[in-house]
Every structure is written in C-alpha cells, then in structure tokens.
Amino acid sequence: MGHEKLEPMIHPIYYYILIYLLLGAIGMALANRKANQAVHQQRWLKYCTYIVIVASILGGIFLEKLFVLTSIIALVGLFEIIKALSLSPKILFALGIIFIYIMIAFGLIFFSLHFKKDFLLFIYFQIFTFDGFSQITGQLFGKTKLIPKISPGKTVEGLMGGTIFCLLSAVLAKDWVGLSLHFVMIWGLFTAILAFSGDTLASSVKRFCNIKDYGNLLPGHGGFLDRFDSLMMTGMGYACLVYLKVL
C-alpha cells in the first residue's frame, strides 16, 4: 500500500488569521490607551463585527457559496449608493457613479465565480490583512495625512503598514497557488493597490454626497461599502486581468 499525502484537517489560513487577529487586538488595545471611551467602544465593536465578516467570507469560499455572498454585498451596496446619491443635484454625475459601481459589482461576482478556492483564499487573505493592518498601524503610528480632503483618517504610515502585511500574507500563502516568490510579491502589491483604490473611491463618493456613513447595517462600520469596498475593487481588478488574459 502506497503512502498518500494527506491534506491538513484545518487549512493554514485559519492559523494565520488567528495570529493576525491576536496581533490586531494587541495593536488596538495599545492604540486605545489614548482614545476616549466612545472611540474605544466603537473600535472594539468594529473589530468584533469584522471577525464575523471574515468568518462569513471564509465560509463562503470553503463551501463554494462565495457567489451568494458577493451578490448580497453587491445588492446592498447598490442600495447604499443609490440612497447616498439620491439627493445629489448633479444627476449625470450620480448616474455615472452608479454605472461605475455596477461594473465593479459585476467584476466582484465574476471573480467569485471564476477562480478556484485556493486562489480566492490567496487573494482574500491579502485583502483581510491590508484592511486590518492599515487601520491598526495607522492608529498606532499614523502622523502623516495621506488624502485629508477625501479621507482624513488615512495616513502614509497606515498605508505602508497595510501594504507590508499584505505582501507578507502573499508570501505566506504562496504554496496555496504554486507561485514563485517573485510572482506572489507582484500579486501582493497589486492587491494592496486595488484594496486602497476601492477604499479611496468609496470615501470620495461619501465626500461628494457630504455624508459620513453609507448606513448603519453593520455595527461599528459606516455601511456595507465601508467594509467591502476593498474586496469589491480587488475582485474587479482580478476580473479585468482575466478579461485581458493575464490570468
């Protein structure tokens, strides 16, 4: 009887995410030392909600139901965008934003349907770490404002921290997709750029609509789009690479 290679009972992503969540919790605890009680509570509420969201996305990938989740995200996000733009006097501009959003949403759904489990985990692991550690490193070390007129909370230090952890995650996950170190670093940087672009675009629309949050459906977050904007733009970016036959 030959020896067969057995797959691990628990995928490595769970171990990595648990470690990252622990590091994030420690970082948030340190950052909260200078925060008032209201900010302290809001940050922890946001952190706990984020854990539920991450678990849902991972469950969707492993159960091969990510299409269902991305469809829900796209529809709820569309509702939030339309609601935010409904009072805008610039009708053509608002319609243009809605059109762009729909294209991004279709890209996300295509992304969830086209790629297999390992590649989806490879990319989502990077998005997870970029989102989380951009906020944590920004709260801990952020001093230099990045785009104050669009998103006052974003800092150069936060962007650098998120990008470094995104690249680290790509390297840790390279065996899942069988890529060389050179290529995973490229994809890690590409994911970081897309995730940051999605977040910035969503913030720009809020500034245009003169609103602070898209909604209050997610505790501690400023709406579905505030939580999923990075995922949506990243999905769109990789869908474009498929269309261009790069992937």
Q: Could you tell me the residue ranges of all domains in the chain?
A: 12-243
- pLDDT confidence of residue 243: 92
Q: How far apart, in whole angstroms, are the C-alpha atoms of residue 226 and residue 71?
A: 16
C-alpha distances in Å from residue 122, one per residue of 108, 125, 222: 15, 5, 27
Q: What is the pTM of this model?
A: 0.91
Q: How far is CA 230 from the centre of its chain?
A: 4
pLDDT in tens, 6-58: 555 789 999 999 999 999 899 888 888 878 888 888 888 888 888 999 999 99
Task: Count CB atoms within 10 A of the CB of residue 72.
Answer: 14
pLDDT in tens, 66-81: 999 999 999 999 999 9
Q: Which residue has the tokens 């297999």?
A: 116
CB proximity list for 98: less than 8 A, separation 6 or greater: 78, 81, 82, 85
Q: Is 155 helix (H, G, I), strand (E, B) or coil?
A: strand
Residue 1: pLDDT above 50? no
